[in-house]
Structure 1
């Protein structure tokens, strides 16, 4: 035997399940081809709404659409598919993930994602290439411009002007902004406002552009932050499409399509799973999140294959779930380490160590931390946008609590687990 035989044995044993390989390996939109997405995608009510808006712009109208859902709800797959659909019809579509930070950084990335593809596209009219080139020359040095001279409204208007030019040349066009929450996560609130002013002006001047669509993908918390910080942007989005947790029927269909995509011959049988197993995993462990469903099922299938289990039982499910949790925990811990600032740590230590995770009212926290209320609110709202905290509003009273699924991870990262807390109490 070679050193790789044991590593390959799991894939070999998948043949016992009539599978060429684990059908749940490819999860993100980036890891899948457009053909794979089409073959494995399950149409939902959200897709029908998207199709309606695509029909509108193909017919000569315009649309601004927000796709709102938690991480793993399927926004990116829809975003890339929107871009692919329009490109197949000869449209100029620009798909981008904007970074957070100073408005200049966001502006640079925005114009780079639109201007450079036009400049390098030999199939567009020379006048359009020249227009994009002049615009890029104007904004390529935006990062070095003093803050006092930066005019976000001009950037937004000129971006819309480029799409007017594209429309005038007879092209269908689209701007797809994925992972919108990144803009909020990596920015301070003052900078976010300027970035939102760019978007507000762009959306205001993009209204009525023939055959043009703007798509923004966001988490619910980030979208709520947008509505609080700059409601004028949100009101310019005409259609909000929410991605809700998938039900049992959709979950089963997702699994069926995945299995058939990797079987030598298609079959109705869900083997080695059953509808009951899929219902259980979707409800108890994935809570209706498609990505979580696939992650857990991938681990369950790996465990079953390596144990050479003929039929998946409860023990196999539990082992697979534990394996998936450990992998997710490692990924979440790494993300938390990269993002948490010292001040965020101070705030979280109070919420977890003294308030049992919350909910806590912001004004009470400000007194305990000795922080200015406005400054504290900025940090709390940013952590809500990061999906670290749940935010609740009851009239004028706003409270925050650690997301239940992250409490243990934060406690371990901050050294506030029960064992550590006991040691701390003994020292005191």
Structure 2
């Protein structure tokens, strides 16, 4: 096992990784920008090194500075968390070239899944169900019209190198296709320097279901069931739960095994998430995230496994601590992403936290790096905490979440906490009857 790990991230995820390392007897090195000198992950780590100014480009995204921090501290491995460099294949290659272990999949697998067309082709060949669409990029409008007629409308035009909803346009009819095609290409060129797009059938009322997989890099893999991440705003997840209210045990076992078999066949190492749209009992592959997910705690709550510890073990060449037979779901878990944003327009709300009180009690977990007097910098993502609850069933989890939200205090800034109070009063949410369009429509009516 490693003696010392450098955590190439900040905020709650950096603190989360530190805790797992500490419980395993591993020393940690925190990197930070000048804006994060007083951050909790810096205070908690065994060592800390400043890697640049406030700008993420010159600090948390600076590969030379992070490698230097690793060499100065003597860290043997780097954990990237999520975001920043966690899915940067070039970073992984540089890390390995310096004889440092990257705690995550190989550069090859990150690159393979980083291009959406290549990822889709790979998954299709591995037996993973995919959305009907074009075979690769679509170079011309004439090609788009021909393919659109074949797969049917409505369809969606997507950037090959896209992400976060950019370079993505809906064509409800054949007549809409020209505008959608040209606009998606223009947006993709501006955002990613690549105007290649592809086409997929547009599903009317799908849920967003993701399967947590884990491989040992030696041809063995397991799945940890699914998470339902259908409550989204602008393609960004807001609330996640496990298991999904829309799935039964047989469906879960079937799609989970398909995903585990797929990553086992490519020799995948570490944590990964295979994301689907799910409609009328059918799964359609979207993408694979080759990293730890923001919402991993709901899976940990339901399966009783520390996924970061498993990442550390596998990266160190040790076997996983669980087999598929060990992984039996227990109860229900829900996670709310608490952002420093002002409702109703979700404007960023950085500033000083005068008072912070985390909810507690049975089945309640608060992942956050806040503390009294901490000043949230304006330079990074607005996520300031994740409230996770676990109960024996979904009704218990909802009741526990309602209670925990009422205990949470973050004074001095605006947060999205009131949104979750309102959502829990909605009958659709209480029944688990929602899809990926539900929240946007609800916000349009209620803000």
* TM-score bracket, shorter-length normalisation: under 0.3
Structure with bigger strand share is: 2
Q: What TM-score results when the alignment is normalised by the length of structure 2?
A: 0.25
Structure with bigger helix share is: 1
Please identify the structure whose Cα radius of gyration is greater. 1
Work out which structure has the larger RCO, using CA pairs closer than 8 Å and 6 or more positions apart in sequence: 1
